[in-house]
Amino acid sequence: MPEQSAVILEQLLEREPGNVKALALLIRSVSMFDAPKAHEVAQRLPDIDIPSDINLEELEIGLGVTSGRGLRKVIKPEQEKINEANRRFETKEKKRKKKKAKLPAVLVPGG
């Protein structure tokens, strides 16, 4: 199946060489059966220009990691500013509801 999709994606890229999504899908499908070829295909990806004023570590930490139904966790950053910005991702515990006391089945009034 990945071989067939790789052939179709290669044909698509011959018609549209600038299609980055198709190139990414091709890399993914080729990597399932031929890792060295996938690495060669990955070299065809265009370079990304990242502005110098963007801190990638802050972006990665800002995303946070959620797991479980009631808990949210975040990787603790080294800088205090990042920690303050991510207060909403800190671990929260669920509140437990108090159960009502069960009365005996046979209740004798006044006794």
Q: In this prediction, what percent of the chain has a pLDDT beyond 90?
A: 11
Alpha-carbon gap, residue 102 to 111, rounded angstroms: 18
**Whether pLDDT at 101 is above 60:** yes
Higher confidence at residue 98 or residue 108?
98
Report CA 41 to chain centroid distance, whole Å.
Answer: 25
Looking at residue 90, what is its pLDDT?
Answer: 61
Angle (deg, nearest 10), helices 20-31 and 35-42: 160
Residue carrying the six token digits 């671990």: 91
Determine the pLDDT at residue 88: 57
Reported as a single tens digit per residue, the pLDDT across 34-83 is: 888 888 988 888 887 877 787 777 776 665 544 445 445 554 445 555 66
- pTM for this predicted structure: 0.46
